[in-house]
Each structure stands twice: as C-alpha cells, then as structure tokens.
Chain A
Amino acid sequence: MEAMHWIRLSALVVVVALLQSSLIGAIGITTHHIQPSLFVILLIYVAVHSTPTDAIGISFLIGLVADLFGSAVGPQVIAFGVVGTLIAELRYVVRLREMPQQMLAAFVAGALTAGIALLLYPLKGQPGPPTSTAILLGQALYSAVLYPLVSWPLDFVVRMRRRRALSP
C-alpha cells in the first residue's frame, strides 16, 4: 500500500476516534446508553477490503488510537490487533463479500474485542470500563446494525474496494 493511502487511513482512524469520543454519545440508546463502536466498523471494513498484511498493521493502529483516547494504553491494541488479524485470515476460509456476512463479522468482532480488552485491563492495574454481558452484546449488535450505513461513506473516503486483494 502506498504512503499516501496509509496517511489517509491514519487520518481516518484519528477522525473516527474523535467522533467515537465525543459525537457518538448522541446516538446512545437505552438507559445504559449503549453506543456503537466506530472502531469495530472500521476494523471490519479494513480487514475485509485490504490485503491481510495491511489489515494486520491497520488493526493494531486502530487499537492504539482507541487506547490513546480511552482509559488505558495496551488492552485495546492487543484486542483489535488479534481480532483484526483473525478476520483477515478468516477470508481464506469464508468469503466475506456479502453485507450480512460482514455485519455478522462486525457483531462477533465487537463482542470479541470488548471481551479481550476487559480481560487485559487488570494487567494494566485498572478495573476497565464497567459493563455487563448484555451491554457488551448490545454494543456489538449496534455496531453490526450500523455497519452498512458507515461502510458506504467509507467507500468514498478510503476507496479500498478497488484495491481488494486476498493475497499477492
């Protein structure tokens, strides 16, 4: 992937982080204020539409930025990196071309990233964000439902579909 594309993607990750940390609160639902994760949506989009090598790098980058804007550095880098790599590798087995498949991947990735990060927070000496299984699954479901709406503008910004390649 050429340098310009990386710069554009990095800027997109920062914009997503700013939106996630501030504006996304406006679309929170239920009394628990369940919000979708734009990071998970971007992770799936990148894992599905880029080469596996690029997907690994960008997944870790998304996790790092999520941590920098979050409560502790470390847990989400690992969670996003591992899950992003898994999804990118999964493409060798399952073709994630259809939208429902990608939405299902977003749901699974949302639940997995949150679960892994929660397990890692104690290693950082922090209790981690308070949550329950219902909230965790609710956030993953909300991200999956929102995926088609967000992936459409992402097509215009990143234009990654044309670069799609499973392997070199």
Chain B
Amino acid sequence: MTNKPYQRAKRTLFTWLLLSSFVLLLIPDSITGKLQSIVTGAFSLPLRMGRIASLAARVPLTRGSASASEFHQLQLDNQEQANHIATLEAMLSKQQADIERLSQLRSTPIWERTAFILADAVHTPSVDRLVINRGQEDGVRVGQYVLASNAIIGSICKSDARLSHVALVSDRESLIPAYINSEKTLGMLRGMGLGKVKITNVRGKEAVKKGDLVYAKVRPGRLEHPFLIGKVQEVKNDRADPLLLDIAVKPAAKLPEVLKVSVIHCGQPF
C-alpha cells in the first residue's frame, strides 16, 4: 500500500520524460542542431585535445631511428605531397586542353577565383562525419568541397554560424561527380558508410584498373579545377547490372586521422 504513491510518481516521471523526448525527436534538426553547436562550441577545446591525444595513441611506438610522432608526420607530409602532385598533373592536363581549345581568349586563372578557408576538426560525431570550427560567419556554405592532405575528403552538409558538419566521401549521404584518369570515364562517387567509397555508373567497357587515380569533376561555382579524391582499390562487374562496373575507391587522405582541413570557396576571393 505504501508503495502505490511512489509507483504512481515513478510512472508519471517516466511518462513525462518520454513525452519530452519524443517532442525533442520531432523538433526539426535546424533547431536542435543549434543546441548541438552551442554544446560542441563550448567544449571544442577539450574535444580537440582529446582527438589529438586519441590519434597520437594510435601511432606505432617505434619505427627505426625516428620517433613515432616524427614518423607519423613524415608519412602525412609524404601523402600530402603525392596527392598535391596528382592534383597538379590533372590540373595541368586540363589547362593544356583549355589552352589548345581557347588559345585566342584571355581568361582569369582558375586559382585566382578559388579561396581556401582553413579549419580544425573539432570532433567526429560518427565515423563518416566531421565537425569543423568554421561556419557561415567565415564564409562556409552547404555544398562546398573540403580538402585535407591536398585531396578532397568530403563536402559541407550542415553549417551553423561558427561550426560546420562535413559529410566525408564515405558518408552515405555523400554523392560527388567524379572521373577516373580522364573525363571520359565519368561516374558518381558514393559513400557506402564505415569508411567505404564506391564509384557507380561507369560502363564495363571502360578500361579501369586498380591504382588508377580518381578526381572530383569540375563543377562551376563549387570546384574550378579537378582535385584528387583517391585511388581505385578494386574493380569488378556490378552484380545488379553486368554492363556497369563496381569500383571500390580508397580515399587519398586518411579520413579517421584528419585534424586540419581547408574548405574550398569559389567565386569572390576574401
């Protein structure tokens, strides 16, 4: 008998909390997202420190005479330079084609119309997402491409005043027009989740092999010249449609270890 009022109070508490939770669930993401941004912004420093410590802990302890941190930095630098060279080669090839085609016309060099907004990765709400410490106040907009280690790692999917969410190329919502080696082999780069990336809609007759480079296709207003995304990891025929290829892509940047990024801002330079 004495427990009855207590049981009733407990049930009431549970019901109210559950109803409030459903209200929270049904509030649009544009409103609750601001709340998340405030919390993430308030704790951005410990989150970032923790992320750096977490990444440092994953590095192997010994590698020859260099320290673990030096070795890791050299690996990153090496990867960054290789990616940069690959992008420059694609850029040069496109420029040469442009020069041949438009040799009589004068145009503004593409790099003069491109600006980069530097940002730090604050934390990763999921394996295929990244939160960066730049937002609309810094010129970041939804849809802009994001670079790390001189390769495209994803695009902005949500932007608040001071923070933005990056959908990495492996995110299931990520869909980027891309090509392999030359613009003749066009396809759509799709995120498959859990760090996996594929290119779809490439015809089976195209000569694609393991190790071929994958570039993001030029999109006026978003990307003024091709940028490296990754390398072809595996090629097989699509099970659903044997006329198409099922191409697995390995991103050029190590997505889980990204700490610094650049958002590509096309149009008016800052």
B270 at the interface (CB under 8 A from A): no
* Closest A residue by C-beta to B38: A68
CB-based contact B3/A167 at 8 Å: yes
- List A38-79 residues whose CB lies under 8 Å from chain B: 52-53, 56-57, 60, 63-64, 67-75, 77-78
Measured between alpha carbons, how far is A70 from B123 in the docked complex, in Å?
10
Measured between alpha carbons, how far is A53 from B11 in the docked complex, in Å?
9
B9 at the interface (CB under 8 A from A): yes
Q: Is the interface of A mostly helix, strand, loop or mixed?
A: helix
Q: Is the interface of B mostly helix, strand, loop or mixed?
A: helix
Digit string of B88-131 for contact with A (CB within 8 Å is 1, else 0)?
00000000000000000000000000000000000111111100
* Closest A residue by C-beta to B158: A71
Measured between alpha carbons, how far is A108 from B129 in the docked complex, in Å?
27
Assuming the contacts A18-B43, A78-B21, A78-B25, asked whether A168 and B6 have C-beta atoms less than 8 A apart, the reply is: yes
Q: Which of A23, A53, A132 contacts B50 (CB 8 A)?
A: A23
Measured between alpha carbons, how far is A67 from B25 in the docked complex, in Å?
10
A-B pairs under 8 A by CB, number? 126
Q: Nearest chain B CB to A113's CB is how many angstroms away?
A: 13
CB-based contact B46/A33 at 8 Å: no
Q: Nearest chain B CB to A111's CB is how many angstroms away?
A: 18
Measured between alpha carbons, how far is A52 from B29 in the docked complex, in Å?
32
CB-based contact A81/B21 at 8 Å: yes
Question: Which 4 pairs across A and B sit closest by C-beta, in order of nearness?
Answer: A22-B50, A130-B193, A74-B25, A73-B32
Beyond the given A68-B36, A132-B194, please list 13 additional residue pairs across the A-B interface where CB-CB is below 8 A.
A22-B47, A22-B53, A68-B39, A69-B39, A73-B27, A73-B32, A74-B21, A74-B24, A74-B27, A77-B25, A78-B18, A123-B26, A130-B128
